[in-house]
Amino acid sequence: MQLFWQEKLLSLALDQWTREIPVTPERGKIFDRNGELLAGNETAYSVYARANAVTDIENTATVLSALLHVPREDMQAKLSDRSRSEITLLKQGEKSLVQSIEGSGLKGIYYARDNKRMYPYGALASQVLGFTAMGSEGTTGLERFYDSFLRGEAGEILYETDLVGAEIEGTSASYLPATDGLNLRLTLDYRIQALAEEVMGRTLAQTSAKAARCIVLDPQDFGVLAMVNLPSYDLNDPPRDDMDALNRLSRNCLVSDIYEPGSTFKIITAAADLEEWRKGNPAALSPQYVFPSSRTRSVDGTTIKCWSDHKNGKHSGQTLAEALNNSCNPCFVDLALGLGKETFYSYLTAFGFGKATGVDFSGEAVGMLLPEGSVRDCDLARIGFGQTIAVSPLQLACAAASAVNGGYYYTPHILSEIFSDDGYVAVKTGKKLMGRTVSEETSRLLSSMLEGVVREGSGKHAYIEGYRVAGKTGTAQKYENGVIAQGKYVSSFVGYFPADAPRYLCLIIVDEPQGSYYGSTVAAPCAKEIFEGIINFMKIPAQGGA
C-alpha cells in the first residue's frame, strides 16, 4: 500500500515534522509598449510567529507591541493562540523594522521577504492597470485579468520541528525557491496616456463636468494606446477605507459602461448607406442625393426634430457630406428608414453592436440593442442618429475605426506580450481580424466626408493646419427614469488622423459639462490637443490638407 500512496504519505510525514515559512514570488512587472515601467515591486517583509515556539510570551508581546504599534494585550492574545501553527503578525513591513525584530533575539518569530506593489506614475491609467490585494493577488483591471501570469508560484522555507512545533536545535532549514511571475508588455503608450489625462483633467476642471473620458486607438490593429477615466485615484494609495469611492473610481467606464452615443453614431449610418449605394441597392441614397429641407420628420405618429431651427436657409439642400457637416438629424432618419430594418441591422451586427468586442479586460458591457423583431420605424429612425441604442465607448471607437480603416474590424487588445525576465516570450498577441464591415472604397469616401466635417463643419475645432484630421461631433441628451434630464448632456467627438491612412483614433466623452455642452466646442478641442501632442513627440511631418 505504501508503494501506491508513497507521495501522499511522504507529504503527510513532511508536514508533521516540518513547519513552513512562505517565500513570496516577485509579481510580474507591467510595461508600456516602449518598455516604460507602469507597475513594479518594492522589497518588503512579512513577520510570522509560531506560538508553540515562543518561549517567553509576555516579553515577546511587550517587544512586538512597541515595534508594531499594536496593543500589548492584543499581541499577547495572538501569541497565546496555540490553535494555529503559524500566525501572521505583519505584512509588507520595512526592512529596518524587521531588523529591529531580528535584533531582539525573540524565539519563535520569523520573517520572509515579501513584495509591495509600486506604481511609478501613481494615478496614470489607474482603471486599466488596477491594483492588488496587499501586493499578491490582482483585484481589479489588468492586475486581475492577467493575475495567473503575474502572480508566480510561492516557495517555502522548511524548518524541522518537534511534536509541538518548536524548532529543533542544530537543524538547518530547507529552501524551496519561489517562481517569479511573468511580465506584461502593453499596447498602451505612457506618453499618449499622460497627455490624454492632462488634457481631459483640464477639461474636467474647466467644465465642472461629472466625468471626462478618452480612448486612443490604433485603427490598423485596434491596439489600445490610451484609456482615460476621470476622476481617478492614486494606485499607490487606493481609498480602501471607502468602498463606494473605491468601486466608483476604479471602474473602467470605457469598457464597462454604456451610453447613448448621439451624433457620433452617424458615422455608422453613413457607412451603411454608402456601402449599400456602392453595391447598387436602390433603397440607398447616393452621395449626390439632396435631402428635403424640412426640419422635422414624422414617423409612426412621432415628430423628430433637428437640433437646428433651419432658419436663414441653414441645412437646406444638403447632400450627405453636408448633412455630416451640419449633423442634421432628419437626414439620418431618411438614411436609416431607406435602408430598412433588416439591412440596417445587418450593419449594426457587423460593426459589433449588441455584443462584446472581446477586449482582454473583465466586465465588458455588450450595450443595448433592441431585438430586430421588436423594432418599430420610429425606433429605427432614432437609431440612425444615435438614440434608442446604447453602446460602450470601446464599441463605438472600434466601430468608427473599422468604418474608416478600410472596413476591417479587429479584436481590440491592451496586451502586446507576456514575457519572463530572461526574455522568453510566453504569449504574444497581434491583430486579429474579426470580420469586414464595409469596402475600402466606401471607407475612403466616408473618410473624405469626415475630413470635411473637421475642415469646415461642426468639427472645425479639431482642425490642425497641415494635417489631415477627420471626425464627427456628438451632443446627446441624457435620460433619467425614462424621460429627458433637463440640462444634462454628453458631449463627444470621434476623430482620427491621417484621414487617408488612419493611425490614431480618439474618442472624447465629457459627461454633463456645465455651460457650453456641444461636442463641437467641448470635446473636439480635446482631440485637437491630444493629436498635436502626438504629432510633437512622434515627430510626424505635416502632409497638407485634402
d(CA 218, CA 413): 10
318 and 461 share one domain: yes
What are 116's three cell numbers? 509591495
372 and 503 share one domain: yes
Residue 370 pLDDT grade (very low, low, confident, very high; cuts 50, 70, 90) = very high
Residue identified by cell 537543524 is 171
Q: Using an 8 Å Cβ cutoff, are 273 and 285 in contact? A: yes
Among 135, 159, 186, give the residue marking a domain's end: 186
Residue 79 pLDDT grade (very low, low, confident, very high; cuts 50, 70, 90) = confident
Residue 545 pLDDT grade (very low, low, confident, very high; cuts 50, 70, 90) = very low
198 and 89 share one domain: no
d(CA 488, CA 508): 17
Q: Is residue 445 included in any domain, yes or no?
A: yes
Q: Using an 8 Å Cβ cutoff, are 470 and 450 in contact? A: yes
Which one from 232, 263, 327, 491 is the annotated catalytic residue?
263
Q: Per the omega criterion (within 30 degrees of 0), is the bond before 498 cis?
A: yes
Amino acid identity of 504?
A: Y
Q: Is residue 9 included in any domain, yes or no?
A: no
Per-residue pLDDT, 517: 94
Q: Which residues pair with 185 in a beta bridge?
A: 31, 417
Q: Is residue 101 included in any domain, yes or no?
A: yes
- pLDDT tens column, 237-282: 999 899 999 999 999 999 999 999 999 999 999 999 999 999 999 9
d(CA 376, CA 370): 10
176 and 247 share one domain: no
101 and 223 share one domain: no
Residue 546 pLDDT grade (very low, low, confident, very high; cuts 50, 70, 90) = very low
Q: Using an 8 Å Cβ cutoff, are 164 and 149 in contact? A: no
CB-based contacts of 48, cutoff 8 Å, min separation 6: 21, 86, 87, 88, 89, 109, 110, 111, 112
Quote the mean pLDDT of the chain.
90
The dihedral built from the CA positions of residue 377, 372, 266 and 449, taken in this order, carries a sign that is negative
The three-state secondary structure class of 380 is helix
The β-bridge relationship of strands 425-428 and 415-419 is antiparallel
- Average of pLDDT values for 170-187? 83
179 and 195 share one domain: no
Q: Is residue 11 included in any domain, yes or no?
A: no
457 and 346 share one domain: yes
Q: Which residues pair with 41 in a beta bridge?
A: 117
CATH number at residue 294: 3.40.710.10
- Average of pLDDT values for 375-393? 96
Per-residue pLDDT, 18: 56
Among 140, 157, 186, give the residue marking a domain's end: 186
356 and 429 share one domain: yes
Per-residue pLDDT, 307: 83
- pLDDT tens column, 289-339: 999 988 899 999 999 998 887 677 777 889 999 999 999 999 999 999 999
Q: Is 298 a catalytic residue?
A: no
Among 134, 167, 186, give the residue marking a domain's end: 186
Least confident of 82-91, 187-196, 388-397, 415-424: 82-91
Per-residue pLDDT, 48: 82
* DSSP code at position 275: H
Q: Is residue 543 included in any domain, yes or no?
A: no
**pLDDT at residue 112 tops 90:** no
| Nearest one of 239, 226, 35, 246 to 124, comparing CA atoms | 226
E strands present in 278-344: 296-299, 302-305
The pTM score is: 0.88
Other Cβ atoms within 10 Å of 55 Cβ, number: 10
CB-based contacts of 13, cutoff 8 Å, min separation 6: none
Q: For residue 148, what are the domain limits?
A: 17-186
Q: Give me the number of domains the chain comprises.
A: 2
The three-state secondary structure class of 23 is strand
**pLDDT at residue 171 tops 90:** no
Q: Which residues pair with 418 in a beta bridge?
A: 184, 427
CB-based contacts of 489, cutoff 8 Å, min separation 6: 475, 476, 477, 478, 512, 513, 517
d(CA 218, CA 412): 9
16 or 484, which is more confident: 484
398 and 511 share one domain: yes
Q: Which of 62-66, 70-74, 171-175, 336-340 has the highest mean pLDDT?
A: 336-340
Dihedral angle over CA of 115, 116, 117, 123, nearest 10: -170
Residue identified by cell 484609456 is 227
What are 239's three cell numbers? 481609498
- pLDDT tens column, 19-42: 666 777 899 999 999 999 999 998
The three-state secondary structure class of 85 is coil
Percent over 70 (pLDDT), the chain: 91
Q: Is residue 385 included in any domain, yes or no?
A: yes
490 and 342 share one domain: yes
90 and 200 share one domain: no
Q: Is residue 8 included in any domain, yes or no?
A: no
Least confident of 108-112, 195-199, 221-225: 108-112
Least confident of 8-12, 282-286, 288-292, 393-397: 8-12
CATH number at residue 127: 3.90.1310.10
d(CA 79, CA 73): 10
The 3-state DSSP composition of the chain as helix, strand, coil percent (nearest 5) reads 35, 25, 40
- pLDDT tens column, 398-426: 999 999 999 999 999 999 999 999 999 99
Q: Is residue 180 included in any domain, yes or no?
A: yes
Residue 168 pLDDT grade (very low, low, confident, very high; cuts 50, 70, 90) = low
- The length of the chain in residues reads 546
105 and 241 share one domain: no
With b meaning 16 or more CB within 10 Å and e meaning fewer, what string describes 124-137?
Answer: bbbbbbbbbeebbe
